[in-house]
Amino acid sequence: MWSVLWAAVRSKAPYVTFPVAFVVGLVGYHLEWFLRGDPSPTAEEEQSISEQREERKLQEIAGKDLTKVVSLKDKLEFAPRAVLNRNRPEKS
- Find out whether 82 and 88 touch, Cβ atoms under 8 Å: yes
- Residue 47 is classified by DSSP as S
Question: Which residue, among 72, 71, 70, 76, has the nearest Cα to 90 in the 3D structure?
Answer: 76
Name the residue ranges covered by the structural domains of the chain: 1-80
Residue 77 has pLDDT above 70, yes or no: no
Q: Taking the model in full, what pTM does it have?
A: 0.38
CA distance 10 to 50: 48
- Find out whether 90 and 76 touch, Cβ atoms under 8 Å: no
Confidence band of 27 (pLDDT split at 50, 70, 90): very high
Region for 84 from its dihedrals, namely left if φ exceeds 0, alpha if ψ lies in -120 to 50, beta otherwise? left
The whole-number average pLDDT for the span 10-29 is 92
Per-residue pLDDT at 44: 56
Confidence band of 30 (pLDDT split at 50, 70, 90): very high
Per-residue pLDDT at 26: 96
pLDDT in tens, 37-56: 876 666 556 788 898 899 99
Question: What percent of the chain has pLDDT above 90?
Answer: 22
